[in-house]
Structure 1
């Protein structure tokens, strides 16, 4: 077979692998991956199950990723035909839609949700239409997987774009994602959507007991697909206990999360959901809720120095660091990280960071006559006006 395998290349890049990293995950030489992508060589039969696992696709669907671009019609032509005749959708078109969903998801943490929501909504609608008319089980399973991912993304975007005020619509999207994930037989996607529902309960409706229940269910569901979702679920279980003022249970959950995430392997299907700063971000938040502001500051300051997955997450770390300093009476010192958080919020309009920044702004009111506090207030006013 000759011709570059563009879809295999794009899939690798979407998942964040370099050729060398993919080779390491598969236990082969980089030159082998180069030959696969160039179309010079076919993966051996014993490589295909591992390749499917690392690419997070079914074994049956690996063939579509190994098809050479020269043998395919243009993506736009395939999509237009499938949308006109949904029953004619093929595996390649389904895989192209999956890649588009993953690309939009990768943009979430660094782009304003309002800039993504139209494209994401269009893609979600296309996937839903094609899923309903899929001509066979293999194609329907691929589209169910995409539907779970796109519904989860839409829930996140709507909640974020509403500054975490619209709770009902995101939950409906997350329920759609859970339904599609169950049909696809993908417990990782189901657990991820369940965890997102937990976030709405914890930070949106403020129903902490319900959020705790949902996060505990994520821990149970996450044990099968791997450590990442189990660990993330435990972190948010700890945060729920902190909101309830139950320090002992909070620290027990944090300890279990730390142990779980320490065992994280490269082949974990949900690895893309994890970043090194995540534990510190959530642990710092827990100690803020518990009123242990000096401990929260130490953890958050260390977390702010670590690599983060995206600007929205970093804004939350910096906003909470500002709150930890404010609550120790060190208001002027809080302004540095708060300004940094506002810089990121101006670029991303992230709902979580936005809410934390305004909380810090309100807590700065005793110092409102100070020049440095007025500068923060002016920036927050501009954010609100925008």
Structure 2
């Protein structure tokens, strides 16, 4: 008998759900909680979060039993949140949200039970935001075992092991994933201890085989910290961190990492200062490093940045050439690329739009921006989407549609506020300046009121 693909997929889903139910039961039992005791804990958490009261213990107990049954149901959103807050802390009350924690396992369980990826990501952000409200630190992003290993390594760097470095790398990745979801200042607080830990380990006698992985973590963390310092308007700290990241990246046999540092630094130079010279120098260095690197996607991004700077300087032919090189790298085989999420066609269309805006056709620029923004939907891409939408409004102004541009900028105000990004705010200010000829129009006054309400004076 031949089993159809749809039947096999259905069987796989049933297996996943059964595995999820079993894992959920293991999480409960590992804490020594009976069904009734578990129900009472959820009722207490609901009260502490000032949520409407849950039903009686017996009713909650029946719900828990259904989640753990042979044919399990998925907890509803309210119970998912309560379970998330429960497993975000160890039995001793300490925050633990990183890899290997009960919280991380709980999120995996939700996926097995059939919950969507976006809902799981949103739940993680919600709990991380709540956990860091009282000033939580990087330790919240480490499992207790990794925290203990890190403490031992900081006391004696010779005791550094692969698990400790993986834990530090997961902190950097977790913070990076929350850009656009949590305020930049809060992300700084989460990341700073990881950067300092990497810095201290680099100065100690770490085992030789672990120096390169440690340096990779340090480069990633310092580059992200430099970007966050820029976003929070600390340009001095940002430049120092970029210099430190660049110094460490040069000691790695992976030129694409050097290129990545140079590109991030170039963008902050582009917006922190008015001139293009320093940004162009850094991008040219990035292109040279990327050409000998292993990542075609990083190389594509470097050429795209090179195209934007050429367009801003009015060099149409150079911009077109660089864009062509970027698309060539974008369309190659990316299997095994060491930076698979660093750049995408959606990002590249945004750079195409900037080039058309400065040395081409504003109508084409508008269409490129619209296509780019429609693909930048992930939480991590919200900052870039806000930038692209603001540039799209600029294109509408140049097309002679200032009122339509102002309508679009209302969305950009909300996006810039939600992400807390400095660059979207700077782009927004520039777009508003282009509306000066229409400053007496009611629709410009409405936009100004919106900006004042969100950003203040």
Q: Answer whether TM exceeds 0.5 for this pair.
A: yes
**Paired residue for 1:222?**
290
* Residue 84 of structure 1: how far off its partner (Å): 3.3
Q: Give the whole-Å Cα distance in 2 for the aligned partners of 1:208 and 1:366.
A: 27
2:225 is the alignment partner of 1:154: yes
Structure with more contact order per residue of length (Cα contacts < 8 Å, sep ≥ 6): 1
Q: Structure 2: which 5+ residue stretches go unaligned?
A: 1-25, 27-98, 105-110, 113-142
* Residue 151 of structure 1: how far off its partner (Å): 0.6
**Paired residue for 2:445?**
374
2:404 is the alignment partner of 1:333: yes
Q: Give the whole-Å Cα distance in 1 for the aligned partners of 2:262 and 2:193.
A: 23
| Cα deviation code 1:152-183 (max 9, x no counterpart) | 00111011111xxx544322212211222232
Aligned counterpart for 1:189 among listed residues 257, 269, 273: 257
Aligned counterpart for 2:182 among listed residues 98, 111, 114: 111
1:65-104 matches, cutoff 5 A: 74-104=145-175
**Paired residue for 2:303?**
234
Instruction: Please tell me whether the aligned partners of residues 300 and 343 of structure 2 are also in contact (alpha carbons under 8 angstroms).
Output: no
Indicate how the Cα distance of structure 1 residues 134 and 372 shifts in structure 2: closer, same or farther if over 3 A, else same. Answer: farther
**Paired residue for 1:269?**
338
Aligned counterpart for 1:346 among listed residues 417, 429, 437: 417
* Residue 146 of structure 1: how far off its partner (Å): 0.8
1:278-297 matches, cutoff 5 A: 278-290=347-359, 292-297=361-366
* Residue 345 of structure 1: how far off its partner (Å): 1.1
SS in 2 for 1:270: coil
Aligned counterpart for 1:302 among listed residues 367, 371, 379: 371
2:389 is the alignment partner of 1:318: yes
| Cα deviation code 1:124-171 (max 9, x no counterpart) | 001111221143112222211111011100111011111xxx544322
SS in 2 for 1:76: helix
Give the TM-score taking structure 2 as reference length.
Answer: 0.65
Aligned counterpart for 2:248 among listed residues 180, 200, 212: 180
SS in 2 for 1:322: helix
Alignment RMSD: 2.9
Instruction: Please tell me whether the aligned partners of residues 308 and 351 of structure 2 are also in contact (alpha carbons under 8 angstroms).
Output: yes
Aligned counterpart for 1:131 among listed residues 185, 202, 209: 202
Q: Give the whole-Å Cα distance in 1 for the aligned partners of 2:403 and 2:214.
A: 52
Q: Give the whole-Å Cα distance in 1 for the aligned partners of 2:216 and 2:300.
A: 22
Give the TM-score taking structure 1 as reference length.
Answer: 0.77
Indicate how the Cα distance of structure 1 residues 267 and 180 shifts in structure 2: closer, same or farther if over 3 A, else same. Answer: same
| Cα deviation code 1:272-299 (max 9, x no counterpart) | 1113311111111122223632221121
Instruction: Please tell me whether the aligned partners of residues 216 and 249 of structure 2 are also in contact (alpha carbons under 8 angstroms).
Output: yes
Q: Is the radius of gyration larger for structure 1 or structure 2?
A: 2
Higher mean displacement: 253-262 or 366-375: 366-375
Q: How many residues align?
A: 325
Q: Structure 1: which 5+ residue stretches go unaligned?
A: 12-17, 20-71
Instruction: Please tell me whether the aligned partners of residues 269 and 279 of structure 2 are also in contact (alpha carbons under 8 angstroms).
Output: yes
Indicate how the Cα distance of structure 1 residues 264 and 113 shifts in structure 2: closer, same or farther if over 3 A, else same. Answer: farther
Higher mean displacement: 201-210 or 212-221: 201-210
Q: Give the whole-Å Cα distance in 2 for the aligned partners of 1:85 and 1:226.
A: 35
